[in-house]
Chain A
Amino acid sequence: MWDTLLFYLAHAFVWKALIVGVLIALCSSLLGVTLVLKRFSFIGDGLSHVAFGAMAIASVMKLTNQMVLILPVTVLCAVLLLRTGQNAKIKGDAAIAMISVGALAFGYLIMNVFSASANISGDVCSTLFGSFSILTLTDAEVWLCVALSASVILIFIVFYHKIFAVTFDETFAKATGIQTGAYQLLIAVVIALIIVLAMNLVGSLLISALVIFPALSAMRLFYQFKSVTIASAILSVTCAVAGMLISILKGTPVGSTIVAVDVAVFAACCLLGWCQRRLGR
């Protein structure tokens, strides 16, 4: 097995995939706590469907760099969803459902009607569940991904304390003069960036798993915002690397393997947390 692994690691494309995978896993775990606790998870889910729709349009238009379309569309939708969500709570949920299901349906429709490809269902399946495209990344795609993840990480570090305050108690933050609206916008834009990034790795249906599982696992074991954030970043990266190596060795689909590892780690963390509490008392 080691030999096979070393054989693969001698190839540049495997390293590219690993670098991109680690970066995406790191980014997606950072905002996990915020997303899980702020009940933003459904926005993440909705946006991933929007990204799928945008990708369908981009592939029909035969854009060489699909990001040019997917990125602005998803960011725009993130901002729109947040706005409607603030105005009326119940309508906000409905708006998200409408946009996400609508985007999904239109994406599939467009792909079916206009696509020249012979293997439509294969295309659709790979956009939904991730493909091996992560193993065929061009240098330009790798750099774009590095740049995007670097900015996500930078934004998160610079605004860490503000994000904490806005997530923990928005009313208090607002009362003390913090521009909560602006930070929410920032969070929404960053979520959109993460989703577009993560789509490469696990496909649009599995993105939420990548965002949510590491945070939930870390929350079983730690009780401070800082330690939960650090732990979920470490867990997410470890799971991503493990998942990618397994998928390379066994030839399983990349995205689902990573998510499967995430789920297994979550179960382990639940057990550990349970033991921890038992021993603590």
Chain B
Amino acid sequence: MSCLTVKDLKVGYDGHAVAEGISFQVNAGDYLCIVGENGSGKSTLIRTLLHLQEPISGEILYGEDLKRGEIGYLPQQTVVQRDFPASVREIVLSGCLPHIGIRPFYGKAEKELAAENMERMGITPLANRCYRDLSGGQQQRVLLARALCATKKCLLLDEPVAGLDPKVTAELYELIERLNKEGVTILMISHDVGGILSYCSHVLHIGKKVYFGTKEEYLNSSAGKAFLAVQEGGRD
């Protein structure tokens, strides 16, 4: 069952295309990895999928059971003011905002959902800490818990592991994989191709040539081989 279908999408700013010819389909429970060079338009694509900006042309179709607002989002950079006073609990709870509609306050259900997701991310002991005093890895977990409050179905993650050390990176990947096993559809941007390819089910490669297919197909395709070679070369 398809929960997101994109047909010949062209994305960019002020009518100027950054990436075009993007077509892919995501089914419920998939783990799609979006790869591509810096500036190839990955973040732009995600922002377009979230209606944060308009597509230049093409179509984005959401599955019947995926209403707008039912997508959790982890931005590449959260522009939080340096001294914003906010506790972890307050931030995670704010992910429940779409559920309360016109009600002014959070009910018991939302508070339980927030507590549950903090437990899932292992940040319950940090609940009363101030967000800005946390480490990068802890902050990512808080934002992931917030995103999980917004959705049970689909998460869009924009470079969740950027700037994290290998150990925390592996932990975060495992968390995300567990979520995927629990039935959450994952779309994730990452430059860490080596790490990510062991987890994902599908790959979308954005660049001059757009490639979409399962992980196995990608690894055997010319686009995949070329990209991996560059990545490996860059690492040596």
Contacts and interface: CB of A to CB of B under 8 A. Distances in A.
Choose among A175, A219, A224 the residue with the greatest number of B CB atoms under 10 Å from its CB.
Answer: A175
Contacts of A222: 85
Interface residues of A, number: 30
B87 interface: yes
23 contacts: A158-B104, A160-B104, A161-B105, A164-B94, A165-B97, A168-B80, A168-B84, A168-B94, A175-B50, A175-B71, A175-B73, A176-B72, A176-B73, A176-B97, A177-B68, A177-B69, A178-B97, A178-B98, A219-B83, A223-B85, A224-B85, A224-B130, A225-B90
**Which of A38, A162, A174, A176 counts the most B-chain CB atoms under 10 A from its CB?**
A176
Nearest to A177: B69
Interface of A: 33, 37-38, 157-162, 164-165, 167-169, 171-178, 219, 222-228
Nearest to A157: B104
B104 A171 contact: no
B75 interface: yes
A161 B52 contact: no
A226 B90 contact: yes
Contacts of B93: 161
A33 B94 CA distance: 17
A159 B91 CA distance: 16
Dominant SS at the A interface? Answer: helix
A228 B95 contact: no
Given A158-B104, A171-B52, A223-B130, A176 B95 contact: yes
A176 B50 CA distance: 8
A161 B97 contact: yes
Which of B68, B86, B93 counts the most chain A CB atoms within 10 A?
B86
Given A161-B97, A173-B97, A223 B87 contact: yes
A168 B98 contact: no
B81 interface: yes
Does more than half of chain B's interface fall in helix, strand or loop, or is it mixed?
Answer: loop
A169 B84 CA distance: 11
B52 A174 contact: yes
Contacts of A171: 52, 73, 75, 78-79
A159 B104 CA distance: 6
A37 B84 contact: yes
Given A159-B104, A169-B79, A171-B52, 5 more contacts: A37-B81, A164-B94, A219-B83, A227-B85, A228-B85
Nearest to B83: A219
A172 B105 CA distance: 19
Contacts of A225: 85-87, 90
